């Protein structure tokens, strides 16, 4: 025989102690509250608790205090919390211009079937999973950085020798790679010159960190640049094509190796220049009433396309008109 379960009509609120009708409580499908089917706090008390936490988090300067207030209540009542549900509740409240409390809208969303088997333990597990993944990702990045740094140090030791700190090796290798990338380095002498430049840069860096005078080191650095022909004044007239603008390159080419004059047989093969002179410039001159070479060229060129009206004498005019109307056959009769 099936047992008939009778739901209580009233329930004492665990917060305020008032005995209220069951309709004054939010329903829940959580197994924790299976015996009564509602949360043990009445709606007014839950709304008051929400505003209490909201006020505290706002004063403390917590980021997104409304989210934190809802999550705190979820923690208290063992309700599943995620930002997706909260965003959906807030969006629904804004679109409907609803005056329903935020916590009420969140609980209604959390009661949907897809969250039936989830509670705040699920929230803790999800946060732990995200934190573990983030920690593993950070550890992987650190390991990759360590490997890259060690490779850079090993490479620097082969070039600059031993006796430097890890920071010095990284600085020397970075500067050396920068120099040989931007400037030609094909010979042994060029490699040695760049190495000495990097040594001097390291000495200047350390001297400046200690607040020492770098006048002599700066002079040495400039002499090394001059020996390597790397001073700006030495590169001014010998700049590579990659660092020049297209207009500068055209000017340079036209000055040093200009385009030769075109052969007579190849001049205006398609008569494009003639068409422009006649139908554009000549026609425009004709329209403006100008009498110049272009307008005369236009008149001359258009003569072969112009139909002239025939001229007749008085006697011939009537005969031609008769022939045009009745034909030659009648005039012969």
- Residue 91: per-residue pLDDT: 82
Number of Cβ within a 10 Å radius of residue 322: 13
Contact 80, 115 (CB under 8 A): yes
- Residue 137: per-residue pLDDT: 64
Residue 5: burial class (beta carbons within 10 Å; 0-12, 13-18, 19+): exposed
d(C-alpha 168, C-alpha 160), whole Å: 10
The two beta strands, 10-12 and 19-21, are: antiparallel
d(C-alpha 211, C-alpha 213), whole Å: 7
78-58-83 Cα angle (round to 5): 40
Kindly write down the DSSP assignment for every residue of 85-107, as one continuous string.
Answer: HHHHHHHHHHHHT--S-HHHHHH
d(C-alpha 86, C-alpha 25), whole Å: 20
- Residue 68: per-residue pLDDT: 92
- Residue 1: per-residue pLDDT: 46
Which of helix, strand or coil describes residue 152?
A: helix
Radius of gyration of the chain (CA): 47
Per-residue pLDDT of the chain (333 residues; tens, 9 = 90+): 454 454 558 899 999 999 999 999 999 988 889 888 899 999 999 999 999 999 999 888 888 889 999 999 999 999 999 988 888 888 877 665 667 888 988 998 888 888 878 899 989 988 887 776 766 665 666 666 677 778 888 888 888 888 888 888 889 989 998 888 888 888 888 888 999 999 999 999 889 888 889 899 989 998 888 888 887 665 555 445 555 677 777 777 777 766 777 776 667 777 787 888 888 888 888 888 888 888 888 888 888 888 776 665 655 556 666 676 666 655 454
């Amino acid at each position: 025989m099936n047992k008939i379960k009778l739901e209580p009509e009233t329930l004492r609120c665990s917060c305020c102690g008032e005995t209220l009708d069951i309709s004054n409580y939010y329903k829940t499908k959580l197994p924790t509250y299976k015996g009564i089917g509602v949360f043990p706090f009445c709606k007014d008390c839950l709304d008051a608790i929400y505003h209490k936490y909201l006020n505290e988090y706002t004063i403390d300067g917590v980021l997104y205090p409304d989210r934190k207030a809802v999550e705190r209540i979820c923690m208290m009542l063992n309700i599943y919390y995620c930002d997706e549900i909260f965003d959906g509740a807030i969006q629904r409240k804004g679109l409907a211009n609803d005056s329903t409390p935020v916590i009420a809208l969140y609980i209604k969303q959390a009661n949907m079937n897809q969250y039936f088997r989830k509670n705040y333990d699920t929230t803790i597990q999800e946060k732990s999973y995200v934190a573990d993944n983030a920690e593993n990702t950070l550890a992987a990045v650190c390991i990759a950085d360590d490997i890259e740094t060690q490779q850079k140090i090993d490479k620097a030791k082969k070039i600059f020798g031993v006796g430097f700190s890890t920071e010095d090796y990284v600085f020397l290798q970075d500067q050396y790679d920068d120099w040989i990338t931007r400037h030609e380095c094909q010979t042994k002498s060029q490699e040695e010159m760049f190495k000495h430049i990097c040594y001097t840069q390291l000495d200047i860096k350390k001297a400046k960190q200690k607040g020492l005078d770098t006048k002599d080191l700066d002079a040495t650095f400039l002499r090394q640049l001059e020996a390597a022909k790397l001073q700006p004044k030495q590169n001014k007239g010998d700049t590579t094509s990659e660092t020049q603008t297209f207009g500068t390159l055209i000017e340079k080419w036209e000055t040093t190796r200009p385009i030769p004059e075109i052969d007579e047989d190849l001049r205006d093969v398609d008569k494009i220049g003639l068409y422009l002179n006649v139908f554009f410039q000549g026609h425009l001159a004709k329209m403006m009433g100008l009498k110049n070479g272009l307008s005369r060229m236009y008149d001359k060129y258009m003569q072969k396309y112009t139909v002239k009206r025939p001229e007749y004498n008085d006697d011939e005019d009537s005969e031609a008109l008769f022939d045009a109307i009745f034909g030659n056959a009648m005039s012969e009769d």
